[in-house]
Amino acid sequence: MKREIVLDTETTGLDPSQGHRIVEVGCVELINATPTGRTYHTYINPMRDMPKPAFAVHGLSATFLADFPVFEDIAAELITFLEDSPLVIHNAGFDMKFLSAEFAGVGQQTLSNPVVDTLRLARTKYPGAPASLDMLCRRFQIDNTGRDKHGALIDAQLLAAVYLELLGGKQPQLSLHAEREKAAAAPINPKKTKQHVPRLFTISREEKARHDETQQKINGPTWEGWSSIADGAQPAHGSPKKEKHA
């Protein structure tokens, strides 16, 4: 059983060294690349203003975020949810840079979890093709119509679906194998099992007489007449009609 966490963040900007902060974290738990239904999601008060370019991306204002906890207050519960599981992140360098800065800022060790970068994975699998989350959803026909703006949890949920496709999809052959094993292990129900039993019956004297008469006709003049046609002679009971040619 392999546990992974799909993770996404939203921020106030592009670089934590310039004072930008995380404002939202969304996580989706996977077991064997399939969502379990367990998620982690929180908004975070960045203790600063929200630049217009960032607001245009995710729509989270400083006023809205003011009532939510600061990063220090959610750090422990985030670590508890992540455990030591591999993290699946799109453009992982961006999110890990911010997470490292936030944990360092509250005196916590930076994360040492293994990281799977789905951006790199997509570029390796489809070199030269667009590899944004939106474009990958379109490629794999994943419905992202509910995503008007970026959001950490919805993006993590979409990325979980994309990640499964990047790994090869739902692998229908495995399902077929499982069904075959299930069928082989199922007990046999005698009532549902069709048995082929030879039919035993006798025919009447009249039926036998008709059969004998038919047999004599087959072996008699009729057969001989048609046999003579094959030898070039005319049949005893008239000749076959010639086909009409236009």
Instruction: Give the residue, 190 or 226, on which the prediction is more confident.
Output: 190
pTM of structure = 0.69
CA 132, distance to chain mean position in Å, is: 19
State yes or no: pLDDT of 90 exceeds 60.
yes
> Among candidates 212, 121, 40, 156, which has minimal Cα distance to 129?
121
Start and end residues for every CATH 3.30.420.10 domain found in the chain:
3-170
Q: Which of 41, 90, 150, 211 is catalytic?
A: 150
Instruction: Give the residue, 86 or 182, on which the prediction is more confident.
Output: 86
CA 143, distance to chain mean position in Å, is: 13
Q: Does domain 3-170 have CATH number 3.30.420.10?
A: yes
Helix (H, G, I), strand (E, B) or coil at 54: helix
Q: What is the pLDDT of residues 104-150, one digit of tens each?
A: 999 999 999 999 999 999 999 999 999 999 999 999 999 998 788 89
CA 102, distance to chain mean position in Å, is: 35
211 is a catalytic site residue: no
